[in-house]
Structure 1
C-alpha cells in the first residue's frame, strides 16, 4: 500500500491528487493532508479520505481543525504550523509526498521530503527556483526520487529514458498556452484587471499561478526548474507558445529526433504518472482525439509584451541568488496586483528593479538564499508606492 502525504491538499493540484488516489484504494491511500488556511475544505477532505494526520499552516485554525475532526468521529491527528507540515513530509508515515504548497512557503517541506528519501511529486516550482541546487543535492544524497508534476516537466520526464539520462538530449522545449492575453501588445495590457488575469483559457489553477501564466513568469520559473531537474543550461532550453495546450513539452535529441508528450489539459495525468511510476495507472482523464481537436499551432513568445520570461532567463544565466530574488519580487508584486494596489505592467517592472538592485551573490547555503529572498521582498515592498494605482 503506497501511503501518500498531500501537501496543499485543498488547492487545485492537491484535490486532483486526491481524486487519482481515490481511484486506487487497493494500492494507495492519503495518509496525511496539509493545507494553508482553508480549514473547512481540509476537514471535508479528511472526512472523505480519512488520513492518519492533518495539518493546517494557520496555527489559529488548529482548534477548529481538532473540533471538526472530533465531530466527524475521525481519529486523524491534528497539527498546525509550517514546521508541523515539514515534519509530516519527513516523518508522516508516507512513502510519497505530493509537494503542492504554492510559493516559497513550500520549500521547507520539499527539502524535508528530499532529505527523508521519499518519492517526491514536485508541483511547487518555487522550491527549485529558490534553492534548486540544494534540493537536487539532498535528493541525490538521500535517494529521493523527484517526479515533476508540472505538466511541462512531467512531459519531459515521460520523453526521457527511464534513468532520466540527458546525455543524448540536444534541447528541451517547454510549451506555454500564452495565457489569457496572448496576442495583445504591451500598451493594451495597462488596464488588465485581476479578474481578467486569473481567467486562464485552458487550466484551472489558483490565483497566483494564473497571474504568473498571464505574465509568462510561470514559464520563466519553469525554465529555471527545468535547468535543475534535467541539468541543462539556459541555451539548451526553449519556450514555444502553443495555445491548444495539448503538446505539453518536446525533447529534441542529438540524432534529430523530437519526442513530444500530448494529452488533454488535466493535471491528473501528470499526477497519475508520478503516483504510478514506473507503471501507468488510470487517472480519470480521457484520451486525446486529435481529429476532434483540430489544428496544433506554435509561435514564439512575445517577450516585449511579456518581459517576465526574459527576466527569468536573465536570472538563470546570472545564477547564484538571482533566481531567489526573481521569485521573491514576483510573489510580492503578484500579491499587490491581486489586491488591486498596482497595475498588471508593474509586475515585471518591480521584478526587473529588484534584480537590478540586488546583484547575484553566491548561493552556497539555505541561509544565503533566505537572506536574498527577504531582501528582495523588502525592496519590492518599498517600491510598491511608486507603482500604486
Structure 2
C-alpha cells in the first residue's frame, strides 16, 4: 500500500485526491495531510481518512479541530506543519495541491527526504524551477505532474527520447470569457469570471483561466518538467477540453491524450505510476457523441497575461517569480472588488517592468523577491484606487 502525504486537502484537487484514495483502499492511504482554514471540510476529511498527522493554518484552526478529532492525531500549524507533513517518515509520495508559492518549501524539503512528488502546485516550478529540478535530479526523485495538461504530455512522451520531440502543444479552454472581445471585458463581474465552461476549480485558478495566466504558468512549468525551450512550447485554444495536450515529434506525427474533463484521472495516474489502475468516471468518452473537436490559435492582444508569461519565462531568473507574485496579489484584489478584471494584466505588467531581473537566484533571493513584489504590487494597486 502506498502511503501518501496530501497538501491542500480541502481544495478541489485535494478532495478529488481523497475520492481516488477511497476508491482504491487496498492501494493508497493518506497518512498525513494539510489544509488551511476550512475547518468544517477539514474535520470531515480527517474523520474519513484517519491520518496520523495534520497541519493547519494557525492556532485558531488547530484549537477548533482538536475539540472533535481523536487525540491520537497530532496537529501542527503554519509552515512548520506543512514541512512536517511533506517529510512525514511513513509516506513515500507527497501530493502537493497547495495554492500559491507556499508550496515551494514543503516540496524542496520532501525531495531531500527522497519522496516522490506528485505536483499540482504550479507555483513551485514557476518560481523556482531550476532549484526544484536540480534538487530532484541529485536525490533521484520523480516529479510527477498532476495538472491535466502536463499529465497528458507526460503520458505522450512515455519511452520517447528527448531528441525525438519537436514541440509540446498545451490545450486551453479559453476560460469564462472566451467568446468575448477584450473591449467587452471592461465591466465583467467576479461572479461572471468564476463561471468556467468546462472545469470545476477554485476561485483563483478559475480567474487565472479567464485571463489565461494559468496557461502561462503551465508553459513555464512545462519548460522545467520536460526540459524543453519556450520556442518549442505552443498553446492552442480547445473549447471542449477533451484533448488535454499533445506532443509533436520530429517526424511531425502528433500524439494526444484525450478524456472527459475530470481531474481524478490525472490524479490517479500520478498516485499509481508506473502502474495503471481502473478508473470509472461518471461518463465514458465516446467521440461519436462529441461529434467534433475545435481548435483555434490564441491572440496575444486578447490574452495579454499569457504573452507576459512567455516573456517572463524567456527572461528567466527572478522574472517568473515576479510574474507569479504580482498575479496572486492582483487576482486577490479582483476577487475582493478592488481591481477591475482587465487591470489584472495591467498590474502584472507594471510589476514586471519595475523589476530588475536576477539570474540563477538561490532560494533566499527567490523568497526575498517574492515578498518585495507582493508589497510593491499591493502598493501599486492602492495607488490605482486613489
TM-score under structure 1 length normalisation:
0.96
Residue 368 of structure 1 deviates from its aligned partner by 1.0
CA distance in 2, matches of 1:369, 1:98: 23
Question: Can you list the C-alpha shifts for 1:173-227, whole angstroms capped at 9, x where unaligned?
Answer: 0000000100311111111111111111111100000000000000000000000
Which residue is 2:210 aligned to?
Answer: 214
SS in 2 for 1:36: coil
Which residue is 1:317 aligned to?
Answer: 314
Contact 1:96/1:118 (8 A) holds in 2: yes
Aligned Cα RMSD in Å?
1.3
Residue 118 of structure 1 deviates from its aligned partner by 1.0
Runs of 4 or more, structure 1, over 3 Å off, are none
CA distance in 2, matches of 1:267, 1:116: 28
More displaced, 354-363 or 261-270? 354-363
More displaced, 215-224 or 194-203? 194-203
Instruction: Describe how 1:216-231 pairs up with structure 2 within 5 A.
Output: 216-231=212-227
Q: Does 1:283 align with 2:279?
A: yes
Residue 64 of structure 1 deviates from its aligned partner by 1.3
Contact 1:117/1:145 (8 A) holds in 2: no
Q: Does 1:245 align with 2:237?
A: no
Residue 287 of structure 1 deviates from its aligned partner by 2.8
CA distance in 2, matches of 1:117, 1:241: 37
Contact 1:87/1:112 (8 A) holds in 2: no
Which residue is 2:184 aligned to?
Answer: 188
Residue 386 of structure 1 deviates from its aligned partner by 3.9
Contact 2:171/2:243 (8 A) holds in 1: yes
Q: Does 1:199 align with 2:206?
A: no
Q: Does 1:269 align with 2:265?
A: yes
SS in 2 for 1:91: coil
Contact 1:56/1:79 (8 A) holds in 2: yes
Contact 2:318/2:361 (8 A) holds in 1: no
CA distance in 2, matches of 1:306, 1:290: 29
User: Gapped runs of 5+ residues in structure 1?
Assistant: none
SS in 2 for 1:261: strand
Residue 92 of structure 1 deviates from its aligned partner by 4.5
TM-score under structure 2 length normalisation:
0.97
Which residue is 2:31 aligned to?
Answer: 31
SS in 2 for 1:179: coil
CA distance in 1, matches of 2:119, 2:234: 21
Question: Can you list the C-alpha shifts for 1:151-188, whole angstroms capped at 9, x where unaligned?
Answer: 000000010124x7422100000000000100311111
Which residue is 2:351 aligned to?
Answer: 354
Which residue is 1:370 aligned to?
Answer: 367
Residue 232 of structure 1 deviates from its aligned partner by 0.7
Contact 1:53/1:92 (8 A) holds in 2: no
Q: Number of aligned residue pairs: give it.
A: 385
Instruction: Describe how 1:333-344 pairs up with structure 2 within 5 A.
Output: 333-344=330-341
Query: Which of 164, 173, 176 does residue 169 from structure 2 map onto?
Result: 173
Question: Can you list the C-alpha shifts for 1:26-78, whole angstroms capped at 9, x where unaligned?
Answer: 121111111011122111101111111111122321111211213xxx63221
Q: Does 1:105 align with 2:111?
A: no
Which residue is 2:126 aligned to?
Answer: 129
CA distance in 2, matches of 1:282, 1:58: 38
Contact 1:12/1:206 (8 A) holds in 2: yes
SS in 2 for 1:172: strand
CA distance in 2, matches of 1:38, 1:93: 25
SS in 2 for 1:337: helix
Question: Can you list the C-alpha shifts for 1:275-319, whole angstroms capped at 9, x where unaligned?
Answer: 111111123324311111121000011221220000000001101
Query: Which of 84, 107, 116 does residue 81 from structure 2 map onto?
Result: 84
Which residue is 1:8 aligned to?
Answer: 8
SS in 1 for 2:220: helix
SS in 2 for 1:68: coil
Query: Which of 93, 117, 122 does residue 120 from structure 1 map onto?
Result: 117
CA distance in 2, matches of 1:322, 1:283: 40
Q: Does 1:160 align with 2:132?
A: no
Question: Can you list the C-alpha shifts for 1:327-348, whole angstroms capped at 9, x where unaligned?
Answer: 0000000000000001001100
